[in-house]
Chains A and B, each alone.
Chain A
Amino acid sequence: MKLQKESSIFRGLEKNVKQLSALFSHSTDLSIRQFQLQDGTKVALVYFVSLVDKVSLKEQVLHTLMFKTNTAAELFESNISVPIENVQVIKRWKEIEQALLEGQSLLFFQGWKEAILFETKGWPERSIQEPHTEAALFGSHQGFIETAEVNIALLRRYIPHNELRIDRCEAGDRAKTKIYLSYLEDVVNPVIVKKIKKKIKGIQIDALLNTGELAEFLEEHPYSLLPQSLLTERPDTAASHIYEGRLVIIVDHSPSVLVVPVTFFTFFHHVDDYGSRWTSGTLIRLLRLFALLIASSLPALYIAMISFHFEIIPLDLMMSVARSREKIPFPPFFEALIMEISIEMIREAGIRLPSPVGQTVGVVGGIIIGEAALLATLW
């Protein structure tokens, strides 16, 4: 039976129950608990076992309904006196589907064309830890986690101000992912917010699993090598960007948030720069810039000097370089390429492997292979 998602639920309980299990393709984790109120009205509590907080379901919802509620009418008249944060009356199948998938539980009644939603979300969650990739010496040691609500809470702790605005958007054709835009409304330029909202509306994708995917949709130059938005897992970094008039985009079930718009130099900043004295902060920033130059062009400079301009460097240095190179069978470019590629491979292997094995890779890759290659004068 094909279902019109806009249509509302039926009066008969049995029909609704049948409809529900058909809607979710008879999933085994969809639980339909049927019982009777005090006056004998048949009801059914529907929820996904995997997505609800069982304690609050048992103690607040089931206990109240079974022992303290006499009739369905009483429940509706008393503004649903069940001791739980959020209750709603809903009718449409579309809303019901959405609510169940979010981890709410729904109560259906025999003879009523309305159902009641109880807020019983509760799923496995990671505790708040320091992010691995962005450790700080002086900054806070909290990091974002995979639940958007918690992340918003972390942000609000840094920005307790009435102008902090959180807007909700959605993206994903098949599974809707919640996206929250947070910004200081009296600071951020509205043009930026408008542009971002428009872009999020235009996203066409099955489901957004990752903030990085969202970044690709928002960027104006998706083919560019340069990242045009900043991913961070640190709430203090995100908050500082909000204070500077930027926009922080939180994607549900992703621990990193997106900061837009950014400049190239945003990537050289770190909370520790602000936490330490300004002199050392400055020094470190200049050092990073220098590191950028080295990291991008030092092998190239070496190749250029060896193959073209050996007269640039002083004679003594040149002699020692020449002596070290005399037995190497490759031209400088291939020598550098082989080394760079092998070092990148060792690095990539180190990231994915569990830490005990990772050490082995370090030892084997770095010491044994390196030593052997040196002995064989491959580089």
Chain B
Amino acid sequence: MVIIVAITAISSYIIPNYELANSVRIIRFPLMLMASIFGMVGIAIGVLIVLVHLISVRSVGMDYGDPLIPINFRDWKDTLIRAPIQFMRKRPSVNHPLQSRRQGQGKKSGVTNMQNQATEQITFFQFILLIYKTQIGINVLTLPRDLFAEANTDGWIVVILGCLVSILLSGIIIQIMKFHPKQILYDAMPKYLGKWLGKAFTFLWTLYALLTATLVLFTTIHIVKVWILPNTPFYLLMIIFLIPIYMVTKQGINMLARYAELAFLIAFFMPYLLFFALKNVEWLNLLPVLKDGWEPIVKSIGLVLPSFYGIELIFIWYPFLNQKQKAFRGAIIGNLLTMNILLIITLISFVNFSPMESEKMIWPTLGILKLIQFPFMERLEVFFLSFYLYVLFATVIPYLFTAVLGIKRLVGKMDTRGAGWILWLVLFGWVIVSILYFPTYSDLFQLHKFWSEVALYLIIGFFVGYTLYLVLFHWWKRVSHR
């Protein structure tokens, strides 16, 4: 303990700014308290609260977290690192300088539009990450088992096919959104479907989003309880998880996008940790390819699709995207990123576990982590899972936001802010449920099954049907005009 405190004290003097060093000192104490109540999860949540606050602060209207969040790779060379001076030709763009070149007196680049910052807009890159981070959620943890059960070790082919289907679906959704590029689906539906039918579908989507958010959140808490904190009450975990979720959701779409960036930066190395598990593996497990033919593969596409859900929320994000012509490209990149992760996970778990093991594992991905040991750390999954919460929240938050917007439409509010009594109501509801009821694994499993069926019908059925309807609608309008 003496060593720990001494190192801490020295470290706080390395921070060159006195004020910041003081802030760090103050942050240390709540973190210690969180750690003593919730262990590693407490630290992860405490750090997350600080980070979420950090990325939402502005200094005289300029982003405080820049260039890390919003991600701005050009300015990284004078942030975390100090690049050679001849590379730093431009001033940091966060201040929106009139002349961005440093050398001499150049042309004025004109006032960059700072007004845009305040309005609700997301960039192309943020759009990609929103899709990617919403897709990566709880399914990642169970996918190898489900795939193995249906398609045996050819599951990785299913992942590729599923990605293609998902890209196709996102193309359809983007086509729909092009009919009303400035309005989210909720606002556009009444125009085409009539007031009541529009409201009915809004209700359906709201229910779906709420169900998804609830499912992911409850599963998250369940996993944390099983793997890390078996003795901590369910509702306490719920309450501390809801703090960062509330902080992000109340600030609307901009913050959602930033949070996706944050989750991306913190978690991008995580799937690659799994490569450490490639020690005593049986590559022959993968052979022969297509051992049962194509039939089980095509059948199990439905199993892999839930891992790609998240694309349906494009109907909320698309109106805020600032480069709409690139939307489809963004959706493709997002889906491919997700596919990349899913492939890594399925392949590694197939070569690591024998067929017998693969079927029995409840959380195969965490099982792989259990195999990895470093000289300084055993049980990597405690550490991993605590910080994987950031990624899981990145799935909960967009669905929660979608649900809140939906409820707002139903009660007749048309704004796109997250904050308000509706958000409080949802969060409060979750807390109450978590106090009264503790879901077991089989409950969650049933709920998950129900959810994936509902989602399949809702996403494919609704979007295909709605597209046909819209095409007919516009065709009919043109005809009747003549």
Using A231-B19, A245-B95, A303-B35 as known contacts, say yes or no to A189 and B59 having CB atoms under 8 A apart: no
The interface size of chain A toward B, counting residues with CB under 8 Å, comes to: 87
Binding site for A on B (CB under 8 A): 1-2, 4-5, 7-9, 11-12, 14-21, 23-29, 31-36, 39-40, 42-43, 46-47, 50, 53-54, 57-68, 78-85, 91-92, 94-99, 102, 105, 108, 111-112, 114, 228-229, 375-379, 382-383
Contact B97 A285 (CB under 8 A): no
Checking B17, B19, B57, B60 against A192 with a beta-carbon cut-off of 8 angstroms, the contacting residue is B60
Does A168 touch B at the CB level, under 8 Å? no
Assembly CA distance A312 to B98 (angstroms) = 52
Q: Given A189-B114, A336-B1, is A312 in contact with B21 using a C-beta cutoff of 8 Å?
A: no
How far, in whole Å, are A244 and B96 apart by their CA atoms in the complex? 10
Chain A positions 282-330 with a Cβ under 8 Å from a chain B Cβ: 282, 285-289, 291-292, 294-304, 307-309, 311-314, 317, 324-325, 328
Residues of B within 8 A of A134 (CB): 16
Taking each of B27, B65, B95, B382, which has the highest tally of chain A beta carbons within 10 Å of its own beta carbon?
A: B95
Whether, in the assembled complex, A51 has its beta carbon less than 8 Å from a beta carbon of chain B, the answer is no
Establish whether residues B95 and A196, one from each chain, have CB atoms under 8 Å apart when the complex forms: no
**A264 touching B54, Cβ below 8 Å:** yes
Return A121 CB to nearest CB of chain B, in Å. Answer: 32
Q: How many A-B residue pairs have CB under 8 A?
A: 265
Q: B382 to chain A: which residues have CB within 8 Å?
A: 309, 311-312
Could you say which of B11, B65, B83, B97 contacts A245, with CB atoms under 8 Å apart? B97
Chain B nearest CB from A127 CB (Å) reads 23
Whether B111 and A189, one on each chain, are in contact in the complex, defined by CB atoms closer than 8 angstroms, is yes
Chain B positions within 8 Å of A375 at CB level: none
A298 vs B8: C-alpha distance in the bound complex, in angstroms? Answer: 7
Q: Which of B7, B25, B27, B378 contacts A311 (CB 8 A)?
A: B378
Distance in angstroms from A143 CB to nearest chain B CB is 14
**Quick check: B20 and A227 within 8 Å, CB to CB?**
yes
Known A188-B95, A192-B60: A374·B377 in contact at CB below 8 Å: no
Known: A189-B96, A264-B65, A336-B5. A312 touches B378 (CB 8 A): yes
Residues in A neighbouring B82, C-beta threshold 8 A = 273-274, 278, 281-282, 285
Q: Given A312-B377, A336-B1, is A228 in contact with B59 using a C-beta cutoff of 8 Å? A: yes
Chain A residues whose C-beta falls within 8 Å of the C-beta of B4 in the assembled complex: 298-299, 302, 336
Q: Which 4 A-B pairs have the closest CB atoms?
A: A308-B39, A245-B97, A281-B82, A333-B36
Q: Which chain B residues lie closer than 8 Å to A225 at the CB level?
A: 23, 26-27, 50, 53
A261 interface residue (CB < 8 Å to B): yes
Residue on A with the closest CB to B100? A245
Q: How far is the CA of A62 from the CA of B442 in the complex (A)?
A: 98
Chain B's closest residue to A270 (CB) is B16
Q: Is the CB of B2 within 8 A of A374?
A: yes
Contact call A300/B15, Cβ cutoff below 8 A: no
Question: In the complex, which residue of chain B has the Cβ closest to the Cβ of A318?
Answer: B378
A264-B64, A268-B17, A285-B80 given. 11 additional CB < 8 A pairs? A265-B68, A269-B78, A294-B11, A295-B24, A298-B11, A303-B32, A307-B36, A307-B39, A325-B1, A336-B5, A339-B2
* Alpha-carbon distance between A312 and B378 when the two chains are bound, in angstroms: 5
In the complex, are the beta carbons of B15 and A267 less than 8 A apart? yes
CB distance B28 to A288 under 8 Å?
Answer: no
CB contact under 8 A between A229 and B59, given known A295-B12, A298-B4:
yes
For A294, give the chain B residue with the smallest CB separation.
B11
Give chain B residues whose Cβ lies under 8 Å from the Cβ of A294.
7-8, 11
**Interchain CA distance A270-B15 in the complex, whole Å:** 10
B389 to chain A, nearest CB (A): 14
A344 within 8 A of B: yes
* Segment of A69-77, A100-108, A216-224 engaged in the interface with chain B: A216-224
Q: Which residues of A contact B228 (CB under 8 A)?
A: 308-309
Q: Is there an interface contact between B62 and A309, defined as CB atoms closer than 8 Å? A: no
Q: Taking the complex as formed, is A89 at the interface, i.e. its CB lies under 8 A from any CB of chain B?
A: no
User: Contact: A220 with B58, CB < 8 Å?
Assistant: yes
